[in-house]
Structure 1
Amino acid sequence: MANVVITGSTKGIGRGLAAEFARLGHNVMIAGRSQQAIDEAVAEIGSQPGTVSGRPCEVSEKDQVQALWDAAVTEFGSVDIWINNAGLARTVWPILETPDEEIQAMVTTNMFGTIFGSKVAISGMKKQGHGKLFNMLGGGSDGEFFPGIGIYGTTKRGLNYFTDALIKENKDSPLVIGKIRPGMVITEAVVREAKADLNNFNKNRKTMNNLCDTVETVSPYLVDQILKTEKSGTKIRWLTGAKIAKRMMLSRFVSQPDKFEAFGL
């Protein structure tokens, strides 16, 4: 069984991954900004074959990221899989209207958090002689543009380059370094952004229903692929171009159930 650390895992896709790893019997160290959030996530995941523990961690502070690694090693003995999942998306403003404090928050969480997490994890994995590191990408990472994601997409595009650089710099090591693109997943953050710009969301509601999936749908696939990945440079992608095309074609003939009603939208 693997020992897994997931940053930003008290909610959303991070918590979904943690729950799935634990269900399969793997040990998981979750991380979030507060002890209360960690306690609530552990309680919600509940009793599983795998052990679920947690530690507060501000990922933009490298000493806290190092403390997270040390806590996982102390509890589990090693870290076999590290997932840099912590991220922040604010998607309701064009670039010039995005508040400066929101820009700073996205850059520090998404960029600094992933960079520091990667440095700490790779350094520790080289010492122990093995390990897998995955960086969570998202909208904009492949260069595509969507309204409102100018800043968020910039951070993810940068992290795509950063991860490619890590792969090349560590090609002669035993480590596996990869990317995860989870697709369009309905998380607390997505619901928050939709409610903040409800008129625009409702204009795109049909398309969103065709393309979005729940955490519970996506997490098992991602975990299965993470566990199977043995080649550095692998990109794990849920919502492929072929899947998008098939869904959009089927939507012309079959009405999709409204996936957002259950989230108060």
Structure 2
Amino acid sequence: MTKNVVVTGSTKGIGRAMARELHRRGHHVVVSGRDEEALRSLVAELEGTEGGTVVGQLVDVSDPDSVEELWAGAVGKLGTVDLWVNNAGVAHTTQTIVDTTPAAVRSMVETNMLGTIFGSRTAVRGMTAQGGGQLFNVLGGGSDGRIRPGMGVYGATKRGLDMFTRALVKEVDGTGVRVGQVRPGILVTDGWLREAAAAPEQVAQQRRMLNILVDHVDEVAPELVARMLASTRNGEEIAWLTSARLARRFMSPGYARKNDKLARYGL
């Protein structure tokens, strides 16, 4: 069945890859972001390939009114929203907490935390009014509670979103709205490459481990999208980099050498 989908933060990274995959599968997709040029480019790209309807809308997820306008625009163009994916996020992951600038702290908290909270409130209210729908929050490093160097602030936002999403699952239980979370793993995105460029020595020292842990967005998106579309239960938890997948990589002789993922990006 064709679905109407909204993906926030879909002009870059895993959001863009998921939007492409949803469109390729024939679903109608509302792509969104703050960069007008990037948004226009993505809409033109998708409209030039076979798939569902594509709608582009500028949004600042940290502004609740802007998020409400995103919902209204999606409903105005598509009629309903069957699936809403809160993906917009900002990551600064190479500095200690005390060295992270106030601007970086504010950006991560406003985009990651407020953006997901505002998006969730808007989507749940709208879906309740229309009789149902599915919401997924995309989490990330730190959402599992593990402490990682340089990720104190970023990890705190994602850990908080894990708790927020679990609370929302309980609140919508028994309604026509379903809430879930997605842990996409460690992905090489524009943001990841920016952070890597700021810490070249760290990347060089950890190259073997990184080649085991990281993945390309275009390889991960199809599975994540397939599992979101197939989900029928409230509280769904979708993870790419599972313990089993990690174990297979570590136990596979020469995995990092045979899968030099960083080479694609000149690292």
TM-score (norm 1): 0.97
1:135 to 129, 134, 137: 137
Distance verdict in 2 for CA 1:140–1:81, change over 3 Å: same
1:234 to 210, 233, 236: 236
Q: How far apart, CA to CA, are the structure 2 residues paired with 1:70 and 1:191?
A: 34
**Residue 40 of structure 1 aligns to a residue in which SS?**
helix
Q: Which runs of 4+ in 1 moved over 3 A?
A: 251-254
How much does 1:254 deviate? 7.0
Q: How far apart, CA to CA, are the structure 2 residues paired with 1:204 and 1:254?
A: 11
> Residue 9 of structure 1 corresponds to which residue in structure 2?
10
Structure 2 unaligned regions, length at least 5: none
> Residue 264 of structure 1 corresponds to which residue in structure 2?
266
**Residue 96 of structure 1 aligns to a residue in which SS?**
coil
Q: How far apart, CA to CA, are the structure 2 residues paired with 1:35 and 1:98?
A: 28
> Residue 110 of structure 1 corresponds to which residue in structure 2?
112
Residues 23-102 of structure 1: pairs in structure 2 closer than 5 A: 23-45=24-46, 46-102=48-104
Per-residue Cα deviation, 1:208-264 (whole angstroms, up to 9, x for no partner): 111211111100000100011111111001110111111011145772232122223
> Residue 145 of structure 1 corresponds to which residue in structure 2?
147
Q: How far apart, CA to CA, are the structure 1 residues paired with 2:213 and 2:165?
A: 26
> Residue 158 of structure 1 corresponds to which residue in structure 2?
160
Q: How far apart, CA to CA, are the structure 1 residues paired with 2:65 and 2:13?
A: 25
Per-residue Cα deviation, 1:154-208 (whole angstroms, up to 9, x for no partner): 0000000000110111112111100000011111111111111111011111111
Q: How far apart, CA to CA, are the structure 2 residues paired with 1:190 and 1:121?
A: 28
Q: How far apart, CA to CA, are the structure 1 residues paired with 2:256 and 2:14?
A: 28
How much does 1:119 deviate? 0.4
Q: How far apart, CA to CA, are the structure 2 residues paired with 1:191 and 1:255?
A: 20
Task: State the Cα RMSD in Å.
Answer: 1.1
Q: How far apart, CA to CA, are the structure 2 residues paired with 1:178 and 1:69?
A: 19
Q: How far apart, CA to CA, are the structure 2 residues paired with 1:168 and 1:113?
A: 20
TM-score (norm 2): 0.97
Distance verdict in 2 for CA 1:72–1:160, change over 3 Å: same
Give the aligned residue type for 1:216.
D
Percent of aligned positions that are identical: 47
1:212 to 205, 211, 214: 214
Number of residue pairs the alignment of both structures matches: 265
